[in-house]
Chains A and B, each alone.
Chain A
């Protein structure tokens, strides 16, 4: 596209290209290096010793890694589903209504995890859960599911709300006109139109849960490891490219899901 057609085009400004390149390099070069050394033949993280799949094979046969990965997937799925259901209900409640007192406060509360520093949330959850733990004696996965659900809700909420706000309200009116009670109108008209937003919301929530370290590390009970907390534990000991291999495997679903969200949203 010719830059001259636009009144102001950032891409045409001097220095734009250099800054953009530097930013991309700064963001992605470390990740690229991490991926490259996952294929290193020696156990060095800094000196290239030839190409090999050994570390992937090793990681694949390491029960600790596999169990951590499975637990991560389990947690991301359960928390993602719960967060998406709650986010959907919240988004409908807050868009299909007349303005009410405290609407802005509700919005701020839902988005609270986006604003409050993660370490603060993590420590407050740690304190509360410690109290619950000593009172009840329960130390299962419930705490992690609760915590992950809570911080996933705003990520699921945003695309669902955006989709709802873009929807033509007369479609729901038309459904009511054609004998659909509110539940049927939701099921047959709102939900099918909302589905892309819900899928996008779930995928984002899933990725956020999958990648979380800080809250998980503080909330988890002994013996519970997600892939990120396992890797964090590994790098405190003597680190091998096995961690790089695990990280690379963790990258794949994240990249795929975020790309899918982008494609779904672009379609409309």
Chain B
């Protein structure tokens, strides 16, 4: 008697089960499509960069591109030597890392090993805000605040130089380096620290000889990801570094980086299909390869040397 309504409900639910399963499969498929869109983006980037620079490399030999130190696309005798741009990129990145690595690491050690919880709660959001300020604002700051400030001490510093945007880029990536390093230091188990304290070490000795070596993989990954971040910084150098390609290793001179070259060409009207148009893709693929390699090395180091506790 009683099971009659149950049976009928069961019977009714059968077709709806089928619908439900179909619906489930459809949703899973749609979600899968969404997830594969990120792969499509990567393929798109690689395809566009390669297809546009292939015609560039038909006119400019790869050897000249990779070894030349002059970049003069607008001259009658146009020269495309990537080192003119690469030198600027390396110099600004080096200046940035010179600032960001020591300050970022010391901040991370201090925040992870010494700072009271209250201070951490205040400082961390401040650092996040520092990382969230648009790069064009940092560019303004480099050109109109830091450069005049530096000129007081270095009287022969031109108003466009690589030192000031490099310093500002360094400050911009401090939060990036310190937060990754700090995460990896905090992942070091307390038992290691306690062992060290039990041997009579101070907090500093523990931080220096126990925590730092134990979190070395995370810290070096932070440095390498910091490099890839600094290499791609565009607007700060575009505003404060001048846009003229200049093969120099002196941070006191003005120069262009790979990224700022792309910006300076895009600022003008550039006809599709010309060699100037293709040259920004050739520069872009160089930048892409550099960041890809540093990212892969960073990934590899953090996996390979990760201590398992």
- Whether A associates with B in a native complex is no
Interface residues in chain A, defined as those with a beta carbon under 8 Å from any beta carbon in chain B: none
Interface residues in chain B, defined as those with a beta carbon under 8 Å from any beta carbon in chain A: none
